[in-house]
Amino acid sequence: MSRIGKKSIAVPAGVKISVKDQVVHVEGPKGKLDLTFRPEVRVNWDENEKSISVSLAPGYTPEHKEANAYWGSTRAHIRNMIEGVTKGYEKTLEVVGVGWQASLAGKQLKLIVGFANPILIDIPQGVTVTVDKQFIKVSGADKGAVGHFAASVRAVRKPEPYNGKGIKYTDEVVKRKQGKQFGS
């Protein structure tokens, strides 16, 4: 049995839910999100109780390992969607390095991080990016899109342990290493 999948999801006021065919539509103050779920899983929306329950489809039992995994994953994705359209998700990155900077150029993020040319990264739809000096703030309703964009920005120049330069999350701790020592 999926321990996460068995729990029902409470839906706060101001969030509209609809389940049609194999698609869940969630709409709230921060945006609209859709999820196409697997046929091994059944999603039920109870209008009276304002809750969503996820269960296995007929013909599947908890002994089916893949169906069990889809059950818990579907419930977690729907919960993240509801939280995203009500509160939203946010990640903050920091550009560390002398002369290194980030700026917005239309619908692209422009990074000057020690390469010969500036790096331009397209900002996906549904993700909002703001730049304040060396801090890049990525926010949006879709948890996956926010995390993926923040990870792709960090991957341009990962923080290195010797000088501490690079693009890092603000809550990330870069373990510093001692360099080579000459003479004795």
DSSP-assigned states of every residue in 96-155: ESTT-EEEEETTEEEEESSSSS-EEEEPPTTEEEEEETTEEEEEES-HHHHHHHHHHHHH
CA angle 170, 150, 80 (to 5 degrees): 100
Say if residue 62's pLDDT is above 90. no
pLDDT for residue 152: 97
Q: Is pLDDT at 51 greater than 80 in this prediction?
A: yes
Which residue segment(s) compose the domain that 161 sits in? 89-169
pLDDT (average), residues 134-144 = 96
pLDDT tier at 1, thresholds 50, 70, 90: low
Give me the number of domains the chain comprises.
2
CB atoms within 10 A of CB 28: 23
Burial of 36 (0-12, 13-18, 19+ CB in 10 A): exposed
Domain end point (choices 21, 54, 86): 86
Q: How far is CA 147 from CA 4, 20, 127, 143, in A?
A: 22, 28, 10, 6
Main-chain dihedrals φ then ψ at residue 126, nearest 5 degrees: 90, -5
Does residue 181 form part of some domain? no
Q: Residue 90 has what pLDDT?
A: 97
What average pLDDT score do residues 131-137 get? 96
Tens digit of pLDDT for each residue in 36-49? 999 999 999 998 99
Per the domain annotation, does 33 fall within a domain? yes
Among candidate residues 70, 86, 102, the one where a domain is terminated? 86
2 has a pLDDT exceeding 80: no
Question: CB atoms < 10 A from the CB of 82, how many?
Answer: 21
CA distance 133 to 183: 40
123 within domain boundaries: yes
What are the residues facing 56 on neighbouring strands? Answer: 41
Which CATH number belongs to the domain containing residue 112 in this structure? 3.90.930.12
Q: How confident is the model at residue 183 (pLDDT cuts 50, 70, 90)?
A: low
Of 31, 66, 86, the domain-final residue: 86
Look at residue 71 and tell me if it is in a domain: yes
* DSSP structural state of residue 175: P
Please check whether residue 2 lies inside any domain of the structure: no
The pTM of this model reads: 0.90
Q: Is 180 within a domain?
A: no
